[in-house]
Structures are given as C-alpha cells and as structure tokens.
Amino acid sequence: MPKMKSNRGASKRFRATGAGGIKRAKSGKSHILTSKDRKRKRALRKSSLVHRTNEKSIRRLLPYL
C-alpha cells in the first residue's frame, strides 16, 4: 500500500496541537488594515482552534496530522 498524499495547501495552513486539536491562523490580517483598529489587528495575530464541525474534513486532507 503506497503512502497517502496530504493536501499541500492544507498542510501549510494547519498544525496539530498536543491535545489533539487543530490550530489555524485567523483571517483578515493581509490588507485593508488602516480601517481596522489596533485592538482588532492585535487579536488577529493570535492563532485559534478549528471548530469541531470542520475537524473531520481537515483530517481527511491531512492523514498524518
């Protein structure tokens, strides 16, 4: 049986946590930043977890996560 291929786009966007969750970066930090206040931009730097309803589809894209 050959090795399964992982989705390369997904592997760059998601990481596994120690507890078994999936970590992701927040969206909205790339452009049009002048209209967003400091507090909002600072919050966008932090990572967050993928919601449990989306975890199954991401794990399918990344079989070795």
List the domain range (segments joined by +) for residue 45.
8-61
Q: How many domains does the chain have?
A: 1
51 within some domain: yes
Task: Classify residue 28 as left (phi > 0), alpha (psi -120 to 50) or beta.
Answer: left
In the prediction, which pLDDT does 37 show?
Answer: 96
pLDDT one digit per residue (tens) for the chain, 65 residues: 999 999 999 999 999 999 999 999 999 999 999 999 999 999 999 999 999 999 999 999 999 98
What's the predicted TM-score (pTM) here? 0.84
In the prediction, which pLDDT does 65 show?
Answer: 87
In the prediction, which pLDDT does 52 show?
Answer: 95
**Residue 33's domain is classified under what CATH number?**
4.10.410.60
